Amino acid sequence: MPNIKSASKRVQVSKVLNARNRADKSVLKTSLKKFDAAVAEGNREAAESAYKVAVKTVDRAAAKGIIHANNAAHKKSRMAIALNNMA
C-alpha cells in the first residue's frame, strides 16, 4: 500500500488504464477470431467484412501502443494472405 498521496493516485490511474488496455486487447482478439472463423468457414462475404473490421482494430491497437507496429503489420499481412487464398 502506498504511503505517499501521489503514489496512491498513480495506483488508481494505472488500474483504470490497465482495465482499458485489457478491454482493447479483448476487442482485438475477438475481431481476429471472427475473421479466422469466417475464413475457416469459407464464407467470402463474411470474411471480407470481418477483414475490414479486424484491420481497423489492429491499426487502432497499434496506434494506442497495445501492440507493436511490426506486430500489427504482421497480423494484417497474414490476414490479407488468408483472404486472397480463399479465391
pLDDT digits (tens, 9 = 90+) for 33-83: 999 999 999 999 999 999 999 999 999 999 999 999 999 999 999 999 999
pTM, rounded to two decimals: 0.86
Is the CATH code 3.60.70.12 the one for domain 5-84?
A: no
| Amino acid identity, position 7 | A
Rounded Cα gap, residues 60 and 67, in angstroms: 9
Indicate the Cα dihedral angle 64, 45, 82, 65, nearest 10°. 0
User: What pLDDT is stored for residue 79 in this prediction?
Assistant: 97
pLDDT digits (tens, 9 = 90+) for 16-34: 999 999 999 999 999 999 9
User: What pLDDT is stored for residue 77 in this prediction?
Assistant: 98
Copy the grid coordinates of residue 48. Answer: 471480407
On the question of pLDDT at 87 being above 80, the answer is no
